Amino acid sequence: MASILLMVALGLAIIYGAMGVINLAHGEFVMLGAYSAWLLQTYFGFSILVSLPLVFLMVALAGLAVERGVVRWLYHRPLDTILATWGIGIVLQQLVRMGVGSDSRYVGRPTILDGNVAIGGVVMSNYRIFLIFFSIAVLAGTWYLLTRTEFGTKLRAVIQNKEISECYGIRAEHVYALTFAYGAGLAGIAGALVTPLISVTPSMGTYLVVDAFLVVIVGGVGSLLGTAVASGLVGEATAFFSFLFNDTLGRVAVLLSIILLIRFRPQGLFPDKVRR
């Protein structure tokens, strides 16, 4: 679960870090990713591994449409983006409910990843091990994109000084649109990959996105490292406390620990230090 959380939170953190937009529709991008995977499997027989690039593109396009259509008009009104993206989330949920129905859907695990491995006395399914490595690869890919490519350099320039970036030929609105699409695409991938673990419903995103927000806050806004560590922490803590007590009490314990952490370290674990 921590790996799924990492991919969801990564998209959320990038969108917030780049544009200051708190994207409450992010959970619905996860849900769209899950339904895309279901669609591709049910009607075309694609295994989710095969559909991943397609799902990424489909959800990224949906993200692009949301950014171009709504979010870009609200960059100077950050509070309104919260409301607007929340509304978009509800619309997306209802559209799926109308189009596909509200029953749970199931997506099969890719057959090559069936089976379990026993490492020291701990049995783990191959699929979960794959998820861990895949999410680390996504993290590394994102890091590479942000720090080693021209697009990443332009994005970081726009984040730090939009006006000057535009004076030097960078089209900030293109950078924003592509960043939003990339974040949405990551959510879509996470949604596709989570399908073998939980059932696919129109409201599945809401549950995941809450945890993703917790991860972003705990990790420190704008920090890839923080997002990575915090998703591990939140995921493991949830599993640990649920094992210790039960699911409900476990949840309570996780939230209490986060409240305590934020009380004493409001900037998160790895805040982005800036010297200007």
Partner 1 sequence: MLEAQSLFSFYGKSPIIQDVSFRIAPGSFTSVLGRNGVGKTTLLRTIMGLTDGIGGRLFFNGTDLGRTRTYARGPMGIGYIPQGREIIPRFTVRENIVMGTYARPDRKRDIPDYIFELFPILREFLHRRGGDLSGGQQQQLAIARALAMDPKLLLLDEPTEGIQPNIVRQIEDVILKLNRELGITVVLVEQNVHFARRASDQFIVLDKGRVALTGSGEELSDEIADKHLTF
Q: Where along the sequence are the contacts to partner 1 (CB under 8 A)?
A: 150, 153-154, 156-157, 160-161, 163-172, 274-276
CB of 273 to partner 1, least distance (A): 9
Q: Which is nearer to partner 1, 118 or 167 (CB)?
A: 167
Q: Is 120 helix (H, G, I), strand (E, B) or coil?
A: coil
Q: Which is nearer to partner 1, 95 or 164 (CB)?
A: 164
CB of 170 to partner 1, least distance (A): 6
Residue 124 phi, psi dihedral angles, 5° rounding: -130, 145
Alpha helix stretches (DSSP H) within 101-171: 126-148, 150-160, 162-167
Which amino acid is it at 135?
S
Rounded Cα gap, residues 252 and 249, in angstroms: 5
Q: Which is nearer to partner 1, 93 or 142 (CB)?
A: 142
Q: Which is nearer to partner 1, 86 or 143 (CB)?
A: 143
CB of 270 to partner 1, least distance (A): 15
Rounded Cα gap, residues 10 and 53, in angstroms: 17
Query: H-helix or E-strand containing 116?
Result: strand 116-119
Q: Which is nearer to partner 1, 27 or 222 (CB)?
A: 222
Q: Which is nearer to partner 1, 79 or 167 (CB)?
A: 167
CB of 153 to partner 1, least distance (A): 6
Q: Is 94 helix (H, G, I), strand (E, B) or coil?
A: helix
Sorted by sequence, the CB contacts under 8 Å of residue 151 that are 6+ apart come out as 145, 175, 178
Query: H-helix or E-strand containing 253?
Result: helix 247-264
Rounded Cα gap, residues 77 and 62, in angstroms: 22
CB of 150 to partner 1, least distance (A): 8
Q: Which residue has the tokens 């695409």?
A: 185
CB of 79 to partner 1, least distance (A): 21
